[in-house]
Amino acid sequence: MVSKKIIIKNPSGLHARPAGVLAKEAAKCKSEVTIIDGDKQIKAKTILNIMSAAIKKGTEIELRCEGETEKEDLEKLSSMIESGLGEQI
């Protein structure tokens, strides 16, 4: 298992558009992808799970990957989150 702490920089947090981008990429990963937000553990492979967490700008999350390609998956997904998931940050 590998993990990384990331601060959400998107102006509106992880709303529909960035949540969709993240879920789509997480679904391609061979490892299990989980977002930790305080005491919540969110499975990141579906948009509804991510959106229901209501993660706002400035929130520090922990992105956790566990499985066959965990290091590569963590690097790819954390880089995408840090760059705004396609949004201007």
Q: Which sequence positions are flagged as catalytic?
A: 15
Nearest to 64 by CA among 86, 47, 83, 45: 45
What is d(CA 20, CA 5) in angstroms, rounded to the nearest whole number?
20
CB 51 within 8 A of CB 19: yes
